[in-house]
Amino acid sequence: MVVLHSVPGRMRLYLDSALPSAKIEAWFRTIPGIYSAAYTACTKSLLFYYDQNFQPKRLHRLLKELDKTAEMQDGKQPSVKKRLSQVSLASLLYALHWFLSKNPVPYIRLVDRLIGVIVLLLSASTIKDAYTGIAKDRKLNSDFLTVCSLLACLYLKQSSSALIIYIMSTVSELLTDMTTMKTKRHLESLIKLEAPHAWKVEKDGTIHKTAAEKIQIDDLVKVFQGERIPVDGVVVTGNALVDESAITGEYKPKNKFPEDEVFSGSICKKGEMTVRVTKTGRETALGRMIQLIEEAYSSKAPTQEYANAIAEKMVGVSFALTIGTYLITRNVNRALSMLVIDFVCGIKLSTAAAFSAAIGKAAKKGALIKSGSHIEQLADIETIVLDKTGTITEGKPYVQKIKCFNGFTPGEVVFYSSSLEQTSTHPLAHAILEAAKRRGITPAQVIEESKITEVTGKGLFGMIKGRDIKAGSLAFLQEQGVQITEQTTKELYSVYTAIDGKLAGAFLIQDIIRPGMKHTIKQLRLRGVKKVVMLTGDMLESANRIARQVQVDKVFARMLPEQKLRFIEKEKRKRKVAMVGDGMNDAPALTKADIGITFGGKRTDLAVEASDVVISNDNPYVLTELIDLSKKTKRTVKQNVIATFVINGGAILLGALGLISSVTGAAIHNLTTIGVVLNSMKILV
């Protein structure tokens, strides 16, 4: 037992148990104080919620009791290899029985009885599950129907029929196991990305190999060419070409320089660097990704729950029809042909496989869907609300145009503006400094920053090389006494600069629209999205400029977080709404929307926690791919349910009329199950 994550009232454990998921969950829910438990066999992850009556320190003792319960079971549940060996043995027995029946030999009855005993031994786990369903869960299950059909065949001395029923039911279970294995491979590959060690840089400059779990925040770690980065952090020295495809889904490696962020699980393809640790263990981007996928596998979509409930109710119906058929016809074979057919396997297995496959497919595209219910909801989204900065745009302002006044040159305007702005942390200041860098202009060294004053939200002023420099909004310069003509205000610029009291220049600064965003919005409309809205805290003029380029339906500017929240609440009364954002100010709206989607490499931790879907790369087209995936999953589940009911229902009718044998009925039932599970597996392709 390993505690993977723990907060007050909630805990996630790594638990490798021999017991079935349902039994583990039921056992935990009997513990005072624990009111919810979900165990995922493919990840061996147990998530449970508790109140003040539960004491976490009791956990080790409780798990020992669970282990004792597991030891009373017949070892672990059959693995893929074990099921294969069972199917092989049963197939050989069937071939032997067929040969002997064609070539009569002495003691054939003894052989029949021996085969019957072997079938019962092979079916031991199925018999136990059937008994558990009746004795403890107080309900009939599909295992009960299978056991009844096997016993009926053996009673009628039809050992070959019993073998066929056993082989077909085991093959369908084998296929389900293989589906589970396939859907968890992505999670296993992510876990393998966790580097086991790190090269820690000590204060004296020496480097030594350290276990990754011993690395702490603010430690310095050296990353060499060809190595996997063990932590999240910021580059301090050096530069490298880093492959982040496993984390973000972006295939193209990125150059990393000092102050750039790097993620655990990425690979240093070329160069080397020293990284200051910002996150370790399960708090890293990779650790959070693994945790989110584990939680997604643990959850069940409403459709999945509903399908399972209907399927379980049909077990009783199948059993009642079997008894009714026998009472009416007094024909055991007719009754038996109905007994071997149920709806549970096809519906439960294919539905679970479909949602698991969808979660795995999304993860491969760099999108983490937190539960199956969110897969369903994505298909029904009619309104998509997009934050501007960091979602529609890259969040990287750049200088698009410089206009000069009163005889000043662009070089002068850029030099004095960048010299003043280098003391500011404002994004527009960064854009001006980048413009200076592109032009090869080095800002003047500011020896005493106290000579420069920043007026929050308006601008700066100070002395640069003996000249009085002011930079900021148009209103700020007017407040500072700079004369602005009416001609100047005809064009709206982002930042204005004055030198010695005269207007010297103006910068038109715009954000870079994310590549592919316009095409994505167009494709969203083709997929049934009726309305695309842009919300931003930016000025209306700037917002409209971006909106025209990407062609959204409506724009709302100067929006505060609570205003975004109210807009989502209002829109939800009309349609299903998805909110796409990346920042702290988007978190309330992300939480309130039917589906909250966090997007982009610069997303904040708060936004990730508030959202239902996390897209870890910067490709907006993933939004359309997720909607396609959602629609495909719902369509697949519907196909599987209809196919299971129609085919199995038809087989039951044919069995009642005596038109098919019990072996044929078993074949139809199990082939249907195999077919619908394979149909679900197509989602992974």
Q: Is 594 a catalytic residue?
A: no
Q: Are residues 475 and 611 located together in one domain of the fold? A: no
Q: Are residues 422 and 479 located together in one domain of the fold? A: yes
Q: Are 626 and 634 in contact (CB under 8 A)?
A: no
* Spatial separation of the C-alpha atoms in residues 116 and 118, rounded to whole Å: 5
What is the per-residue pLDDT for 520?
95
Q: Are residues 405 and 505 located together in one domain of the fold? A: yes
Whichever domain contains 269, its CATH number is 2.70.150.10
The answer to the question of residue 132 being in a domain is: no
* Spatial separation of the C-alpha atoms in residues 341 and 319, rounded to whole Å: 10
Q: Are residues 469 and 534 located together in one domain of the fold? A: no
Q: CA triplet 625, 628, 631: central angle to 5 degrees? A: 150
Strands lying side by side in the sheet with 531-535: 367-369, 613-615, 595-599, 577-581, 383-387, 531-535, 554-556
Which of 143, 387, 594, 618 is catalytic? The answer is: 387
Q: Are residues 562 and 590 located together in one domain of the fold? A: yes
What is the per-residue pLDDT for 255?
85
Among candidate residues 244, 279, 314, the one where a domain is terminated: 279
Q: Which residue is it, tokens 């297995």?
A: 349
Q: CA triplet 219, 225, 226: central angle to 5 degrees? A: 105
The answer to the question of residue 121 being in a domain is: no
Q: Are residues 376 and 427 located together in one domain of the fold? A: no
Whichever domain contains 367, its CATH number is 3.40.50.1000
* Largest Cα span, the chain: 117
Number of domains in the chain: 4
- Sequence-separated (6 or more) residues with CB below 8 Å from residue 585: 537, 560, 561, 564
pLDDT of 554-586, one tens digit each?
999 888 778 888 999 999 999 999 999 876 667
* Spatial separation of the C-alpha atoms in residues 538 and 428, rounded to whole Å: 13
Whichever domain contains 459, its CATH number is 3.40.1110.10
Q: Are residues 398 and 499 located together in one domain of the fold? A: yes
Going through 500-539 in order, the beta strands assigned E by DSSP cover 502-513, 531-535
Q: What is the extent of the structural domain holding 413?
A: 394-512
Q: 416 vs 439, 443, 447, 464, CA distance in Å?
A: 13, 7, 15, 7
Whichever domain contains 25, its CATH number is 3.30.70.100
The answer to the question of residue 241 being in a domain is: yes
pLDDT beneath 70: ranges in the chain: 1-2, 4-5, 18-23, 26, 29-30, 40-43, 53, 57-58, 60-62, 64-79, 104-106, 137, 172, 175-196, 245-252, 282-309, 311, 446-450, 457, 487, 489-490, 583-585, 600-609
Q: Are residues 381 and 527 located together in one domain of the fold? A: yes
For 387, list phi and psi in degrees, rounded to 5.
-70, 150
